[in-house]
Amino acid sequence: MSRESKKPNLIYIFADQLRYSSLGYAGDLRAQTPNIDALCAKSTDLCRMVSGHPVCAPYRASLFTGKYTTSTGMVINEIRMNPNHHTFADVLNENGYETAYIGKWHMYASELGNHYDPKNSYIPKGRDRLGFNGYFAAYNFRHEYSVGTAYYHLDSPEKIYYDKYEPDAQTDMAIEQLERLARGDSPFALFLSIGTPHDPWEPDNVPEECLRRFAHTDFDYPPNYLPENDPHADQWARLSEEERKRLPEWMRVYYAMTANLDDNIGRLKEAVSRLGLEENSIIVFTSDHGELFGAHGRRAKNIFYEEAVRVPMLIRWPGHLEEHVRRDCVMNTVDIMPTLLSLMDLPVPLGAEGKDFSMAVKGEEVRDDGALMMCTGPTAAWGDGQEWRAFRTRRYKYAVYRSDQQEFLFDLENDPYERINLAGDPEYRDRLEDLKRRMYSRMEAVGDRFESNTYYRDHWVEDRIIRHTATI
């Protein structure tokens, strides 16, 4: 088969906890991301991409199934995914693709904690890999990236330790796989899940050279910083007084990690070009969610504010997609699989709940339907009280908590830092009711009954393993 007649390859790169607002092309003058910025200049920029559930495991479950959290059952971190879905990788396999997966997985644990035990860190061959039947060099999750602590598994529980900083080593592995895959006749899909810039933001968790780049950069509290904790925050989102004092230094490490990530994006771009893969490969660069750094009285993610949910989404496909253009459609995590499969002229599984935005990516105007976002519980522990739903359009965002029905309405055009809650303003009552109606309509369409977190524990999950879901 000639290379010209092949189906397009897919190279999907996703960082962990990288927010849209901390990139150079998004306007952050502190960022040192020249390679990502250059990729943006050659890509279609889906500039209003949001994380449908801004937590690591729920995002990944939605990415690979095209289903909302309330359908996958991945309602918190550190539970085990039900593998009986028709997944992204399944479709790729059925259409002659070779797959490769490198990096963090985060859908196989069955304990809270004990991350380093192979029974939680090793993902065995078979359906638990959700169709990734080719090269698979992964670990469930951890967030130490330095030599001596960072490791992965292949096809056995044996830990293989990286011989260099983890993102650098993972990029080496990705390039090696690209070199191998480029020699074959089959189209391929490579997924690279890089763990940075996720915390811990300790100086020894990032290369010293990257940290030195920010030695003279000023980091201060964000414009929407609050000195008191958000009363709705779970234990992972609350800040102690000591942690508040460390926020500027945490940000320094975060930006250094992002700079290292950028270096590796540059190396990947060079390899794609060198191997002659550029013309027939779709390159995606994105992230699972963002980070608050004290905004709105919170750290971490798991909240509807822009710092947590708005993520980069760049798609490059020379000769097929326009370069250096912005599309302002509001895309959600569940929309990624249907959109990419459609761009690749591959079938979308019947069970997928996301929307196909492929025509919007190509430049066709679409109606501002808005994105449904959700939190179905605390980040990793079982417990009720943090559940919320939100609905974002190009300009407005509506949100409500399950516990006390507190409502929020933000005008993102005039209030980008979401400091003014308009929910109680009579002038915006019609706007609030419209967004609320549209949100609940979307929820009804996908069977989301706004259940408590413990409902899923009691009805769908056994020993932190998802046994049943709404669709299986």
* Number of helical (H) and strand (E) elements in the chain, helices listed first: 13, 16
Q: Which residue has the tokens 């809270």?
A: 112
**Tokens at 361, concatenated:** 């990516």
Residues belonging to the active site: 56, 106
Phi, psi (rounded to 5 degrees) for 64: -90, -10
| Pairing mode, strands 135-139 and 98-104 | parallel
- 252 exposed, middle or buried (CB, 10 Å; 0-12, 13-18, 19+)? buried
Of 72, 128, 50, 130, whose CA–CA distance to 352 is shortest?
A: 72
DSSP tag of 155 = S
Write down the H helix ranges in 275-335. 306-309
Helix residue ranges, H only, 77-201:
88-94, 118-121, 166-182
The count of residues in the chain is 472
Rounded CA gap, 352 and 337, in Å? 8
Cα(249)–Cα(244) distance, integer angstroms = 10
Within 8 A by CB and 6+ apart from 96, the residues are: 7, 186, 187
Residue 432 and residue 398 in contact, taking contact as beta carbons nearer than 8 Å: yes
Partner residues linked to 152 by β-bridges: 160
CB 194 within 8 A of CB 287: no
**For the purposes of burial, counting CB atoms within 10 Å of the CB of 126, is it exposed (0-12), middle (13-18) or buried (19 or more)?**
exposed
Tell me 336's DSSP state: H
Report how far residue 211's alpha carbon sits from residue 243's, in angstroms, rounded to the nearest whole number: 20
Q: Are 85 and 65 in contact (CB under 8 A)?
A: yes
CB 244 within 8 A of CB 227: yes
Alpha carbons 220 and 50: distance in angstroms, whole number: 25
Q: What is the DSSP string of 370-405?
A: -EEEEE-SSSSS--SS--EEEEE-SSEEEEEETTT-
Query: Among 163, 266, 165, 151, which residue's Cα sits nearest to residue 208?
Result: 165
- Residue spans of beta strands (DSSP E) within 36-132: 44-46, 98-104
